Amino acid sequence: MNREGWLMPYIRAHMGRFIMMIILGVLTAAAASMLMFTSGFLISKSALRPENILLVYVPIVGVRTFGISRAVLHYVERLVSHDAVLRILSQMRVRLFRVLEPQALMLRSKYRTGDILGLLADDIEQLQNVYLRSAFPGAVAVVIYAGVIAALGRFDGGFALMAAALLLILLAGLPLISLMMTARTQVRMKQERSRLYQRLTDAVMGLGSWVISGRAGDFLSSYEEDEASIARADRALKRWARIRNLIGQLIVLAVVLLMMTWSAKQTAAGQMDGTFIAAFTLVVFPLMDVFLPLSEAAERLPGYRDSLNRLEQISSGSCSDSRTEEALKSRRSQTAEQHREQGTADGSWKQGSRMASADIRLEDVSFSYKGNTEAAVHGLSLDIPQGKRIAVIGRSGAGKSTLLGLIQGAFKPDSGTVRINGTAAADLGEDIPRIISVLNQRPHLFDTTLANNIRLGRVSATDEDVRRAAEQAQLAALAGTLPGGYDTPMREMGQRFSGGERQRVALARILLQDTPVVILDEPTVGLDPRTERELLKTILRETQGKSLIWVTHHLALAESMDEIIFMEGGRIEMRGTHAELMERYPRYRNLYRMDRPGYALERELAKVGG
Whether 110 maps to a domain, the answer reads yes
Whether 524 maps to a domain, the answer reads no
Whether 127 maps to a domain, the answer reads yes
Where residue 113 falls among pLDDT bands split at 50, 70, 90? low
β pairing state of 571-576 and 517-521 = unpaired
Helices (H), 347-443: 400-407
* Nearest residue to 89 (alpha-carbon basis) of 135, 43, 130: 130
| 60 or 97, greater pLDDT | 97
C-alpha torsion sign, points 450, 454, 459, 464: negative
* pLDDT for residue 322: 38
For the stretch 596-604, contacts whose Cβ atoms lie closer than 8 Å and that sit 24 or more positions apart, written own/partner, are 597/529, 601/220, 602/220
Distance CA 89, CA 122 (A): 12
β pairing state of 415-420 and 436-439 = unpaired
* pLDDT for residue 206: 47
* pLDDT for residue 199: 57
Distance CA 578, CA 558 (A): 6
Decide: 89 and 128 in contact? Cβ < 8 Å. Answer: yes
Average pLDDT over residues 25-46: 78
Whether 464 maps to a domain, the answer reads no
DSSP state of 299: H
* pLDDT for residue 208: 44
Continuous segment of H or E residues that includes residue 576:
strand 571-576
* Nearest residue to 423 (alpha-carbon basis) of 499, 508, 338: 338
Summarize pLDDT for 178-228 with one digit per residue, the tens.
888 777 776 667 666 656 655 565 455 445 444 433 445 666 676 677 777
Distance CA 178, CA 244 (A): 8
* Nearest residue to 274 (alpha-carbon basis) of 579, 87, 40, 543: 40
Q: Is the pLDDT reported for residue 241 higher than 80?
A: yes
Whether 391 maps to a domain, the answer reads no
* Global model pTM greater than 0.75: no
Phi/psi for 366 (5° steps) reads: -130, 145
What's 33's domain CATH number?
A: 1.20.1560.10
Residues 6+ apart with CB under 8 A from 491: 447
Where residue 390 falls among pLDDT bands split at 50, 70, 90? very high
Decide: 154 and 168 in contact? Cβ < 8 Å. Answer: no
Look up the domain containing 67 and give its range.
3-311
Q: What Rg do the C-alpha atoms of the chain give, in angstroms?
A: 32
Whether 80 maps to a domain, the answer reads yes
* pLDDT for residue 105: 56
* Nearest residue to 487 (alpha-carbon basis) of 507, 472, 467, 468: 467
| 373 or 580, greater pLDDT | 580
Average pLDDT, the chain: 76
Q: Which of 38-52, 234-248, 330-344, 483-497 has the lowest mean pLDDT?
A: 330-344
Q: Provide the percentage of residues in the chain whose pLDDT is more than 70.
A: 76
Whether 604 maps to a domain, the answer reads no
Could you give the number of structural domains in the chain? 1
Whether 549 maps to a domain, the answer reads no
* pLDDT for residue 343: 40
Q: Which of 20-34, 56-70, 137-151, 203-217 has the lowest mean pLDDT?
A: 203-217
* Nearest residue to 337 (alpha-carbon basis) of 422, 430, 412: 430
Q: Is 5 helix (H, G, I), strand (E, B) or coil?
A: helix
Summarize pLDDT for 247-294 with one digit per residue, the tens.
888 988 888 898 888 888 888 888 888 878 888 888 888 888 888 888
Where residue 94 falls among pLDDT bands split at 50, 70, 90? confident
Summarize pLDDT for 305-358 with one digit per residue, the tens.
777 777 776 766 543 333 323 333 333 333 334 444 444 333 344 434 456 788
Residues 6+ apart with CB under 8 A from 536: 524, 556, 557
Q: Which of 300-314, 320-334, 542-556, 587-601 has the lowest mean pLDDT?
A: 320-334
* pLDDT for residue 494: 55
Q: Which of 21-35, 96-110, 199-213, 397-411 has the lowest mean pLDDT?
A: 199-213
Continuous segment of H or E residues that includes residue 308:
helix 301-316
Average pLDDT over residues 111-131: 68
Distance CA 84, CA 52 (A): 48
Distance CA 352, CA 354 (A): 7
